[in-house]
């Protein structure tokens, strides 16, 4: 039997609330749809009505897998089959604005029809009584074989349909008219970033943050940094590294000490860390995940981990820089800011024409690649920094896109989408590209762009695009000669 529309939000559209109580409300909204018990195994269709066709819009069942969801590009709608009765909650992920709306339809193959508008209590009661009478007459005729009752029971469905048609507001034949609660949406309660799928030793973190940092036994890299600053970092600053589900070198930690970093280095990992790294004031925090850590998940973990860390230990530090494990070379102390502004690493490559964006862009359900046109440059997720106050909202936003059971997408894609959207402005998140946090991989791999650098080292790596020796040079592994020499000098 073909599905019929049984509930339709035609007059009252859902619209965003741009003043949420939690920052994730700007990116994630919960849509609640209540389906009465009589309608089991329904289909729900969610249709965005967006002013700009390049808006981001995805819908996931809340805290479930995507198995029953399907995006239909031709209709620009999201269809969820085999939806059970009761309260169903969906997570809307979008950069929607005040002019945007959402329409919702509920479909069912039970020949039952109802509307989103609250229907008449009287009509509901009449049909309840009719069903009771019909069932009673049928039962009596069956038990007592009374011909009179049997004859009446045969014509009652016809009388029932006529009764429905006599009610002027509802000119349709139906089995049962039901009350239907109004659709509602609310701010997304950001809780999943610290859920049980990733855990770390909080006692070890607290001990590390309370300890007096010492690295007198650290064997520094065999080179002298180009610039030494004595007044940038303090013991209350942190360099944070995470690597779960993989092994890696940790020469970047030694490089940070060589460049004069005075704070603490926290390494969240499930792999072994050599003693020579620990002697450089690096604290190893045992970290684990309960789900398979594929490539994208290994990278994505950094965001929920940092979000949880800031929530639990934000009072223990002033500034934080996250770095990847082994492809980061420090040329000087990078803590050159003091305000509550997120410090980002610009790759100096436009979003729209970039190979990597073209590869991960299609993985965003509901996002047209054209959305990235004229959005500026790619921002790297392998190096970024800020105060806890500045970073907390951003890492929670990125963490809020994904939950266990769903397809994992590149974390940098999520970060870049958020930064290029109107969400940071609405959420009051301030950020700036910090040229001292240089991600150079794309330019190192290009025969023309590599000419923007003067490379005499490591450590002498000059970026002529900005006429500086960046404090951090990230993705040196894109050039094996530079990476091998760096490893040799910092082993």
Give whichever of 38-52, 128-142, 258-272, 441-455 has the largest mean pLDDT.
Answer: 258-272
In this structure, of 99-113, 180-194, 282-296, 457-471, the range with the lowest mean pLDDT score is 180-194
For CA atoms 379, 381, 382, 387, the dihedral sign is positive
Average pLDDT, the chain: 77
Strands 86-94 and 57-61: antiparallel
Instruction: For 171-189, write each residue's pLDDT tens digit.
Output: 333 333 334 445 566 655 5
In this structure, of 45-59, 97-111, 382-396, the range with the lowest mean pLDDT score is 97-111
- What pLDDT is stored for residue 432 in this prediction? 98
d(C-alpha 217, C-alpha 276), whole Å:
9
**What mean pLDDT is predicted for residues 198-217?**
94
Is this prediction's pTM over 0.85?
no
Instruction: For 334-384, write each residue's pLDDT tens digit.
Output: 999 999 999 999 999 888 778 777 777 777 777 777 888 888 899 999 999
Whole-number CA gyration radius for the chain: 30
Please give the DSSP secondary-structure letter assigned to residue 468. B
**Angle in degrees, CA 113, 118, 120, rounded to 5:** 85
- What pLDDT is stored for residue 384 in this prediction? 98
Please give the DSSP secondary-structure letter assigned to residue 14. B
């Amino acid at each position: 039997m073909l599905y019929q529309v049984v509930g339709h939000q035609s007059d009252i559209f859902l619209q965003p609330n741009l003043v949420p109580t939690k920052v994730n409300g700007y990116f994630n909204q919960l849509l609640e749809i209540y389906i009465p018990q009589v309608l089991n195994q329904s289909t729900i269709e969610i249709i965005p009505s967006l002013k700009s066709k390049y808006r981001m819009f995805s819908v996931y069942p809340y805290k479930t897998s995507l198995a029953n969801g399907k995006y239909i590009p031709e209709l620009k709608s999201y269809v969820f089959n085999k939806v059970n009765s009761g309260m169903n909650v969906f997570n809307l992920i979008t950069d929607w604005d005040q002019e945007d709306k959402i329409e919702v339809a509920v479909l069912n193959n039970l020949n039952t029809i109802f509307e989103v508008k609250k229907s008449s209590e009287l009509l509901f009661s009449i049909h309840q009584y009719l069903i009771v009478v019909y069932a009673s007459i049928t039962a009596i005729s069956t038990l007592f074989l009374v011909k009179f009752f049997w004859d009446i029971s045969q014509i009652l469905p016809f009388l029932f349909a006529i009764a429905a048609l006599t009610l002027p507001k509802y000119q349709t034949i139906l089995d049962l008219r039901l009350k239907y609660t109004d659709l509602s949406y609310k701010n997304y309660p950001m809780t999943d970033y610290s859920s049980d799928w990733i855990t770390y030793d909080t006692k070890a973190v607290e001990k590390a943050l309370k300890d007096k940092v010492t690295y007198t036994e650290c064997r520094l890299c065999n080179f002298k940094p180009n610039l030494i600053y004595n007044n940038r970092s303090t013991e209350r600053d942190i360099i944070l590294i995470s690597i779960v589900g993989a092994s890696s070198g940790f020469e970047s930690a030694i490089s940070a000490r060589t460049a004069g970093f005075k704070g603490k280095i926290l390494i969240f990992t499930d792999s072994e860390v050599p003693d020579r790294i620990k002697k450089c004031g690096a604290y190893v925090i045992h970290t684990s995940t309960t789900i398979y850590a594929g490539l994208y998940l290994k990278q994505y973990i950094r965001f929920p981990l940092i979000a949880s860390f800031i929530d639990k230990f934000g009072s223990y530090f002033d500034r934080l820089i996250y770095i990847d494990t082994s492809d980061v070379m420090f040329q000087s102390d990078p803590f050159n800011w003091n305000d509550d502004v997120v410090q980002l690493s610009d790759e100096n490559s436009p979003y729209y024409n970039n190979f990597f964006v073209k590869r991960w862009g299609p993985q965003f359900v509901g996002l047209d690649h054209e959305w990235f046109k004229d959005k500026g440059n790619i921002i790297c997720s392998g190096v970024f920094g800020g105060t806890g106050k500045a970073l907390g909202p951003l890492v929670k936003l990125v963490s809020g896109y994904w939950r266990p059971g769903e397809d994992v997408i590149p974390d940098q894609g999520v970060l870049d989408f958020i930064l290029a959207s109107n969400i940071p402005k609405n959420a009051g998140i301030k950020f700036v590209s910090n040229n001292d946090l240089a991600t150079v991989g794309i330019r190192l791999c290009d025969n023309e762009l590599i000419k923007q650098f003067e490379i005499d080292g490591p450590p002498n790596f000059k970026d002529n695009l900005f006429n500086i020796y960046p404090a951090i040079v990230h993705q040196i592994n894109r050039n094996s000669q530079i990476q091998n020499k760096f490893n040799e000098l910092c082993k």
